[in-house]
Amino acid sequence: MTSEIHDLLKKCEYFSTLPSHYLDRIAGLWRSVTLSRREYLFHEGQEGKAVYLLASGCIQLIKTDKEGGQAVVAVIMPGELFAEAVLFERDDYPVSALAVRKSRVYEMLKINFIALLEDSRFRLAFLKGLTKRLRYLTERIMQLSLYDAEEKFFSFLDHRYGPLKEYKLTMSRKDMARVLGITPETFSRLLKRLEAEGKILWRGSTLKIRTRRK
């Protein structure tokens, strides 16, 4: 298990710049948790006792509005840290975390993570990754409220993978629809229109971008 979490930490944007001796130290502080399909890891408003790193599967982060409606604000893929908001800005989870399919996460107690942050070099490296993540989430919230489906789609690709001409995608179309905040049916219609207009070609895991909206 220590070898797996060590490899995950090296790939995670929050920890990738840390020296190996820090990774060795951190690796022993996580415990593995397995979730069944459609099982919640934690609920919005619940006391935030831990942060998590996804090892396998897929996790949706879901926000409830004042009217009781729910929106997927992020889809967590393997190698990504989540629930980090409880480290600094609040004591409860601001969203719910739902396993889209059978998933496995690594959990570190908040109290242990706070102890790590007392080390100035670790704190600086972690805060760099945190700033990047918070900037992405802020932009995602703007996209959900301001962009149409096509703009959301191309903006998401740019932010997650970079402005490329060809992508090798690890995310399913259904998962991408969720993270874009639109229904799978709407997303399917969008893709058909974009292909008919000659803007994209999506076959298997390969997505080719031919033209973009200007």
Structure-token pair, residue 182: 């639109």
Amino acid in position 115? A
Structure-token pair, residue 135: 């900037």
Whole-model pTM: value is 0.62
Name the segment(s) of the chain with CATH classification 1.10.10.10: 148-209
Confidence grade of residue 105 (pLDDT, cut at 50, 70, 90): very high
Confidence grade of residue 53 (pLDDT, cut at 50, 70, 90): very high
Q: What is the DSSP string of 16-57?
A: TTS-HHHHHHHHTT-EEEEE-TT-EEE-TTSB--EEEEEEES
- Tell me which DSSP letter residue 92 carries: B
- CB-based contacts of 25-32 (< 8 A; 24+ apart in sequence): 26/116, 27/2, 28/2, 29/108, 29/109, 29/112, 29/113, 29/116, 30/5, 30/106, 30/107, 30/108, 31/106, 31/107, 31/108, 32/1, 32/104, 32/105, 32/106, 32/107
The mean pLDDT value of the chain amounts to 85
Question: By the 8 A CB rule, do 11 and 80 touch?
Answer: no
Residue 146 has pLDDT above 50, yes or no: no
In this structure, the strands spanning 96-99 and 40-42 are antiparallel
Question: So what CATH class is 2-145?
Answer: mainly beta
CATH number of the 148-209 domain: 1.10.10.10
Residue 181 has pLDDT above 90, yes or no: no
Residue 52 has pLDDT above 90, yes or no: yes
Name the segment(s) of the chain with CATH classification 2.60.120.10: 2-145
Cα separation, 116 vs 22, in Å, equals 10
Q: What is the pLDDT of residue 144?
A: 54
Cα separation, 146 vs 150, in Å, equals 12
Average pLDDT over every residue of 134-151: 65
Q: What is the DSSP string of 172-193?
A: -HHHHHHHHTS-HHHHHHHHHH
Residue with more model confidence, 159 or 50: 50
